[in-house]
Structures are given as C-alpha cells and as structure tokens.
Structure 1
Amino acid sequence: MNISLCTLFEKNYHYGVAALTNSLIAAGYRGDLWVGYRGELPAWITGAPSFDAGSGRFEVAPGLALRMMFLDTPVHFTYYKPTFIRDLLEKHAPEAAVMAYIDPDIVVKCDWPSFCGWFTDDGISLIEDVNWCFPARHPKRLQWNRFFEPHGIVPKRALERYYNAGFIAVPRAHMDFLDLWRHLCDLVLAHNAGAEKLKIGGGADLFHSTDQDALNFALTVYDAPLNTAGPEAMDFAPGGYYLSHAIGSVKPWHGKHIRQALRGQPPRLAAKAYYQFANAPIKVWDEGDLARRRLELKIAAAIGRVYRSA
C-alpha cells in the first residue's frame, strides 16, 4: 500500500518539522512528507544543497523527501487540515492510497513497519486524546446534536471516545469524510463569529477545541471503520511506543524548561522525545545551544521530581 505523509507549519514550528523528519528517518520511512507552510522557509531548508527551490523538493535522506508547498490561505492551519489532505490526495499525490497528517509538534518513536500496520485502505486511523473518555450521551454530544441538526447533519452511530486531531490517516476511499470535516469546521467558525483559535472559551463552551470538536462529531456522522489506539499512543498516558505529542502552547523548542518546572509544570515525555530527534541527521541547532537546552531539561526534570502544581 502506498502511504504518504503530510504536515503544516508556520513561524518557529519549523523546529518541529525538523524533529518529525528526523524521527521518520530513524523509523525507516521512505516516501514523501508533504509540508504546507506560510511565511519564510528557514535556512536549514533554503541553504541545503539538495533543496530545489523551483519544485520545493528537498531530499533529506535516501528515499525520503520533503515536498514544500507554500499555502496562500488566510485560514488558520488548525482548520485547514481537511482541505490540505484532500488537495494532496486529489491533485498532488494521486498514487497515494492513504494520506496521513501528523502535527509538527509530534515525533515518531517506533519503527516504520510497526507504524504502517496502522493504515488500511478502508479505515480512518486515529488516536484518543488526553481527555479520551467521551460517552455517547455526554452532555456536550447532546448539545452538538441540537446544534448540527438544523443544518441537516445528524449522527449515524454512537462513539464513546474523543480523538486528537494531531494525527489522522484518511484512505482515498473515504475522501468525502474530509469534505464533511471541513464543512463542520466552517459551521463551528461561524458559531464562534469567525474566531480562528485552537481553543475558544472554556471547557463548558459548545465548541472549545474547535476543529477537534468538529472532527469528533464528523466521526459520528460518517460511518467508516476506525483504526484507533489509546492515549498512550501519543504519550498522553504511560506505556506508549508509537508517537509523542508535545501539546500545549509552550513547545519544547521554546525552551523555558526550568521556568515551567518552577511553576509546577515539569517536562512531559514529549519534550524528552523532541530532543532525541531535534538535531540529527537534520541539524537546526548550534551544538552548544542544544547542549545547554538538554541540560536545562535535565534540571527541570529533577525539579519536577520534588515539585509539581496541584
């Protein structure tokens, strides 16, 4: 089965793209990583001898190429995922049977043969979120039903889990799911008066996690098989070995590890996983700076062993 991967980034999230790519190289992935971006490309891409500015192709390892795609869209990237995945399947990667989106604050921890077993040509692949338990008749689900029903959108099945939008793999056979997800994102945006943010209001708001809420409602409407793993698959719980997802507004490449630890927020597993893949074989950090950051991470971890916020 031909599997292709994609991600989206802007601003300093290119540090995450480098680590994600390094982790894919270590895993043994061979193929394309389609990278949609806004703004300027970093020097580690534009200055690389193998980067072709005309085509946007950058071969980073034998058989693995970044395919850089400038995106001229005002849409917040968190809402642009279904459009991007659909465009890739339809226009740019016609040979791909499955397109998997991975956020740029994620790294792959397992080998590629273990990971690619997740993908099928008949199912949508997903991972449960950090707050994964979401019963079929949860009050929020009932509110969603009432919101979407006047738009002619009603659930066809009950689900008991809530899935993270940082990773999703969609087979070509279910491209229509991406249209539904995009449509629901538009309705959520309209409800929130066009406020394009990752989080809106508080947990009691109708749509708090915006595109992720839209994704989870879409999964109840579109009746495709789901290939799923628990929250440990993103290091949201112990025992995972697939991915590590650095959720939250402060990313590992932002540093501030000691400051965060002194506030009672020690480094998560994802920060440690990021530094494992941060600088090899693609180098984006000065070695001295990277050594200092890794030392700060160790000190922050030590602080976290004796001090945590409630």
Structure 2
Amino acid sequence: MSSTSTTFPSRRAASSTSADAPLPQPSTSVSASASRATSAVFTLFEGNYHLGAAALFNSLYAAGFRGPCYAGVRGDAPQWTTRRADGSHGFETADGFSVHIIPLQSEHHLTNVKPLIFQRLWANECANIPALFYFDPDIVVKRSWTYFEAWVQHGVALVQDVNSTMPPDHPTRCAWADFAAGAGYQVRRPVAHYYNGGFVGARREHLPFFDAWADLLRHAESRGAAALGAFSQRNDAPPFIRFPDQDTLNMAVMCTDVPVSTVGNAEMDFTAGGTLMSHAMGRPKPWARSYLQRAASGIAPANADKLFWQAAGVGPIHAFAPSILRRQRRRLALASALGRLYRRT
C-alpha cells in the first residue's frame, strides 16, 4: 500500500483514533436516545447508498426499534439529515429514534472498518448499550425488533451467505487456518458454513470476537490481501481471500470460542421462506434499477425490490419525493406482471 493509505489502528488504540486511523474522534456527548437504549444499530455508506440507508432506518422504525442508529459516511451527509448546533448531522423523532452521522476518511473499502466501528461505539457512544447490530445499507428489516434483541442473547448473530456450504476441511478454510496462525490465532471449532458480512449482531460480552476480526483484517492488510479494497471473485493465491471483511469475519468464527447463533440464507431472502430481513443482491441496487428494462430481459423484481420501495415510503425519513415513490411503485407492479409472463431461464 502507498504511504498515503489509511492503516488500521492497533486493538489498544481502537477507541481513540490517531492521525492515520480511519475513524474520526468520537463524540463526547451521549444522545438522549442512547442514554436509555437497550440496543443500537450502525451502517456504512457513501454516494447514493444513503437512499438504501434511509429505507433500512425506516424498516427498523417500523419493526419497533427505538434508540440510536449510527451511520459511517464517506462524503457529504444525506439531505434527509439536519445540521445540529455542534456541527454534526443527524435525524431524530420525538419517540426516541435517532440517526447520527460519523464522517469517515478511510481509503479502505468501507466494509473493512466494521469491527473497528463495533469497538469504537462500545468504547464511546454506546458505552452503556448492551447490544449492537450492523446492517448493510441495502437491507430491509422484516421481523419485530424484539426478535433481534432476543437473538443476540445466544451469541454473535450471523446469517449464512448465498453460497453457504464450506466444510471444516475445505481447502480454502485450511488455507485460512494457516493465515490466522500467522496472526496468532488457532482454530477453536469446526465450522461448516460461510456467513454473510451484511449483518452482524452481538452483545458487549462478545467483544473478543470483534477484537479477533479486527486483528485478522490488520493481518490481511499487512499481507496485501486485495489492498483491503479491491474485491476479486477469483483469487488463486493462498490464503484465497476474495472479500477481506467477510472472509476474516468467517475466520473469527473459526478462531474464537465466542458463542455464535446462526440462521440459514433464507433469512436474507437469498432463498424463499425467510422472515428476518431482505438483502438486495447484485447491482444496480433497488433505488437505481430500471425495472421495466430488467423485466423485458426476463428479470422480474425480487422481494428485496418490493420491500425496499415499501420501506422507502413508510417511515419517518423521506428520501424520495412522493411522485418518485408513486412512479416506481407503478413500474414495479408492471414489471412484476411482465415477470409472470416472461422470465429468463
């Protein structure tokens, strides 16, 4: 990496940033919603992904979540936030729901600061909040929030990826074991599945899991693994790291004895039957898709598309004009009808 690249701070420095750290100085104030919350949520985004984050936050509100949401943002704060007296940006409702923008300057892909955000929030803004959840900004929550809070009582909450089968003796997993040993970690348990990094939930007592995850990401950086930014679907050199944040998340599952509680990939709507959340796969994302053009190519709208536009229009955050919501819903309905007649095989 070049001399201008941002590097990960050591575990000891995770709660207070240095000049080359990817996180800004933590806020010294605690919001009213954080002072009485039992859980908090964070996400990470840049560019037009703020539209996805708005739908995520609306879905959390509809699910009954009340408390602070934190958004690590590279670039300008979304227009649906307001500038506060202290110069920060955010959004709040009268009944205890709030969003707080954390500006990020990291040159890394934003997904690679997830474990650092867990560490930083529990050390600072969420010091008195027992449960913390990360969601990608292209996820919509479907289940009551009480379910999520109960889930993490049993361990770090994870969802299997779309391609989830990965037995303990898988050659990639064996290469990961060798890689982790170089960072001082040994395999602690056999793991048969691969988990998606788009959602992680935990309680404070699970913090050693995130320490390990951050250590393994730093080790990947020191090895030049995809420069922790450029994803490669095909990496034929050991340790076969294709997605640094997600692969090292899965290494942390292998190399810690922190309890985990996992569900199948239907719970992200990767297959039918899920009830927890819907994760929009691929690109473009729902807010940027041309549904009629896709339908003409035999690609019908997915459940994630329908749930996104539902959440975008119902909730406290209004990221779209009503006319756009009406137009997109009409196009979704027409594209769905076309999809019943013509579907790519």
TM-score by length of 2: 0.82
Following superposition of structure 1 onto structure 2, how do residues 78-227 of structure 1 map, counting pairs within 5 Å? 78-120=111-153, 123-189=155-221, 190-194=223-227, 196-197=229-230, 199-202=231-234, 206-227=240-261
Structure 2 unaligned spans of 5+: 1-36
User: 1:86–1:36: structure 2 CA closer, same or farther, 3 Å change rule?
Assistant: same
* Aligned AA (1:232): A
Q: For residue 44 of structure 1, what is the aligned residue in structure 2?
A: 80
8 Å Cα contact 1:200-1:210 kept in structure 2:
no
Following superposition of structure 1 onto structure 2, how do residues 268-283 of structure 1 map, counting pairs within 5 Å? 268-281=302-315, 282-283=317-318
Q: For residue 52 of structure 2, what is the aligned residue in structure 1?
A: 16
User: 1:307–1:136: structure 2 CA closer, same or farther, 3 Å change rule?
Assistant: farther
Name which of 331, 338, 342 aligns with 1:296. Answer: 331
User: 1:286–1:97: structure 2 CA closer, same or farther, 3 Å change rule?
Assistant: same
8 Å Cα contact 2:187-2:254 kept in structure 1:
yes
Q: For residue 285 of structure 1, what is the aligned residue in structure 2?
A: 320
CA distance in 1, matches of 2:297, 2:327: 20
CA distance in 1, matches of 2:293, 2:137: 23
CA distance in 1, matches of 2:244, 2:337: 35
Higher mean displacement: 158-167 or 281-290: 281-290
Higher mean displacement: 298-307 or 209-218: 298-307
CA distance in 1, matches of 2:251, 2:101: 31
Q: For residue 237 of structure 1, what is the aligned residue in structure 2?
A: 271
Deviation at 1:159, TM superposition (A): 0.7
Deviation at 1:203, TM superposition (A): 7.1
Aligned residue for 2:76, secondary structure, equals coil
Q: For residue 75 of structure 1, what is the aligned residue in structure 2?
A: 108
CA distance in 1, matches of 2:224, 2:344: 35
Deviation at 1:271, TM superposition (A): 0.9
User: 1:263–1:217: structure 2 CA closer, same or farther, 3 Å change rule?
Assistant: farther
Size of the aligned set, in residue pairs, is 305
* Aligned AA (1:304): G
User: 1:195–1:116: structure 2 CA closer, same or farther, 3 Å change rule?
Assistant: closer
Aligned residue for 1:119, secondary structure, equals helix
Deviation at 1:204, TM superposition (A): 5.9
Identity %: 37
Deviation at 1:126, TM superposition (A): 0.9
8 Å Cα contact 2:81-2:89 kept in structure 1:
no
TM-score by length of 1: 0.90
8 Å Cα contact 2:52-2:138 kept in structure 1:
yes
Structure 1 unaligned spans of 5+: none
8 Å Cα contact 1:17-1:104 kept in structure 2:
yes
Aligned residue for 2:152, secondary structure, equals coil
User: 1:18–1:194: structure 2 CA closer, same or farther, 3 Å change rule?
Assistant: same
User: 1:255–1:179: structure 2 CA closer, same or farther, 3 Å change rule?
Assistant: same
* Aligned AA (1:23): S
User: 1:201–1:233: structure 2 CA closer, same or farther, 3 Å change rule?
Assistant: closer
CA distance in 2, matches of 1:42, 1:57: 9
CA distance in 2, matches of 1:141, 1:182: 18
Q: For residue 18 of structure 2, what is the aligned residue in structure 1?
A: none
CA distance in 2, matches of 1:55, 1:273: 30
CA distance in 2, matches of 1:53, 1:227: 39
User: 1:57–1:193: structure 2 CA closer, same or farther, 3 Å change rule?
Assistant: closer
Q: For residue 31 of structure 2, what is the aligned residue in structure 1?
A: none
8 Å Cα contact 1:136-1:160 kept in structure 2:
yes
Deviation at 1:113, TM superposition (A): 2.1
